[in-house]
Amino acid sequence: MLTLWYILYIVIHLLDELLNMNYTKNAHFSGLGQQERQRLAQLLRNAKGLITVSQAAEVWALSSPQAAKILALYNEKGWFKRIKRGAYIAVPLSSQTSDIVPEESFVVATELFSPCYIGGVNAANYWGLTEQIFIDITVITSKLVIDRMQHIAGTQYRLHTLKPAAFYGLKTVWFGNNQVKISDPSKTIVDMLMFPQFFGGIRFINDVLIQYLQSEHKAIELLIDYLRKANSGAALKRLGFLLEMNACKEPELIAYCQMNLTQGYAKLNPSQKCQRLIRKWRIGLPESWKEKFDDR
């Protein structure tokens, strides 16, 4: 009987070692001792998404300096990716690199750039208003940011600064234990109309607008309320033009745009020359759009 138990012990021990070897086949992973594996498993069970020194110290019942040293060890061995001082993301075992995975990039953005929200093309994709997948993450922040394109742990973050008064129409979503703010569908449309050069360009925005009007997310009164809060004459001119160009049957929305037109002309796409003027909507079109709309 003793021999049988010894054999079982050897088999279980070998399986455990083989499992650990499988975890460390990728070049960026290094092996862990038994206590290190136990601590890692305990931490991942209790701290999802972004992992901080204070979280680790609480889970392990250690001091912050002790927890910081262990997290640094996991980072050195490739199990964690350091995002900023005292903050880490766990690297998935299936990953071939130490870059963060897409579903965690929103969490990283929230940690690094708060107060902020995810908007533009990423919000449009999240709400099902486009099937296009975007590698870059669009972040709207109230911080004054010098470097508006930041590459962090394999992900490119595009940053756009707005005043705190523009932080309306946001939804809170959860990724693990982490809260992330994301613009709701109507707010996403308004942001895109205000800043088309930052949010995919006017052709993409036109496609998103059409999808929005055909989706369960359409909320005309809410959209008008957001447009009123935005107080952007350029957004109204672009929206009115696009609605009429696409023959959208939204009389209330078109009437609101028409009644609230401001003086002067806005560019349909600020990043292009817009010399074709549409008098009705007081908007300038790029040369490539001149066949799409009669001068009125």
Return the SS3 of 179: strand
Is residue 8 domain-resident?
yes
Q: What is the DSSP letter of 288?
A: G
- Tell me whether residue 183 is in a domain: no
Domain limits at 29? 2-90
The alpha carbon of residue 39 and the mean position of all alpha carbons in its chain are separated, in whole angstroms, by 30
Highest mean pLDDT among 6-20, 40-54, 70-84, 151-165: 151-165
State the Cα–Cα distance between residues 50 and 233, nearest whole angstrom.
40
* Range list of β-strands (E), 85-237: 87-90, 116-118, 137-141, 149-152, 155-161, 170-175, 178-183
In a domain, 19, yes or no: yes
Judge whether 67 lies within some domain: yes
Assigned domain for 77 exists? yes
pLDDT exceeding 70 applies to what percent of the chain?
Answer: 82
pTM: 0.75
Number of domains in the chain: 1
Q: Please report, rounded to a whole number, the percentage of residues in the chain having pLDDT higher than 90.
A: 44
**266 in a structural domain:** no
**Per-residue model confidence (pLDDT) at position 221:** 96
Within a domain: 194: no
Least confident segment among 74-78, 163-167, 247-251: 74-78
The CA distance from 105 to 102, in Å, is 5
For Cα atoms 170, 47, 173, give the angle at the middle one, nearest 5 degrees.
15
Q: State the CATH number of the domain containing residue 69.
A: 1.10.10.10
